[in-house]
Structures are given as C-alpha cells and as structure tokens.
Amino acid sequence: MSLTPSSMIEVKRTRNKGRGVFATVLIPANTVFERAPLLIIPAKEVLECEHGEFLYHYVFEYPTAKNKVALALGFGSLYNHSYQPNAYYEDVGRQIKEYRALRDIQKGEEITINYNGTDGGNDPLCFEVAAES
C-alpha cells in the first residue's frame, strides 16, 4: 500500500487545545483522508521513561505486539479527542493506521477522534485533555 500525504487536511492552532487537524476541503462521510505509517516502540521506553512521559500523550495502544505502543506519523498523533468525534481510526495493513470520516466534515472543521478507539466509547481517559471548544 502506497502512503502519500493527504491534501484534505492540515494542522493549525486551536483555541483551547494547542494544535489540531482540520479539513481543507469537504470530506464526505466514510472517506479515508489519511493513512499514517506507525512506529512500533517498546511501551516501557514511552510509559516508564526516566526522562519524562512526553510521548505518552501521542501514542496508541498496539495490541498485536506484546508490550508495544504505536506512534502514528503524518498527522496521526495530532488529532484531538472528542466523545462525539467526526472521524475514527483503525489499524489496516502492516503498521498502518487509517483515519476515516464518520460523517461529512466541513472545510475548516477540526477533525476529532475518540481516544477510546470507538465513536461511542465514553470511558474516562487515563490522562486529561483540553476541554472541547
């Protein structure tokens, strides 16, 4: 599977959350707008690092590899959280995460995902995220 940057998205500053990923065009529901390669990292190097846990907020669980986490490249680790997301992600192929629109995403709209991994997952997160604007 070939991976190329998407012209449908861009990173911009947000009011309350630092940076976020935004649509540069109308993204119709069910459209794959990014395929991000993953770096698979031993979990202890991210979660138990003596120099801090900076990457902790940017990695995904990677259940297919024991004691590993995944850092999504491209814009993959920059999507902000929402319990009412307009997009979702899933692992596809070998070390690739795919981001897809749950509904039409308007040009200029921030693209959000549910960090729980499902669009309906309301479980509390194990770290704080900035309030939605």
> Coil, strand, or helix at residue 84?
coil
Which domains, from first to last, does the chain contain? 9-113 (2.170.270.10)
Name the residue with tokens 């070998």. Answer: 94
80-122 per-position pLDDT tens digit: 999 999 999 999 988 999 999 999 999 999 999 998 765 555 6
Distance between alpha carbon 14 and the CA centroid of its chain, in Å? 16
Assess whether pLDDT exceeds 90 at residue 79.
yes
> Coil, strand, or helix at residue 75?
coil
16-59 per-position pLDDT tens digit: 888 999 999 999 999 999 999 999 999 888 777 665 566 777 88
Query: E strands within the chain?
Result: 9-13, 19-23, 32-42, 59-61, 68-72, 80-81, 87-92, 96-101, 110-113
Other CB atoms within a 10 A radius of the CB of residue 116 amount to 15
Assess whether pLDDT exceeds 80 at residue 128.
no
- pLDDT reported for residue 130: 52
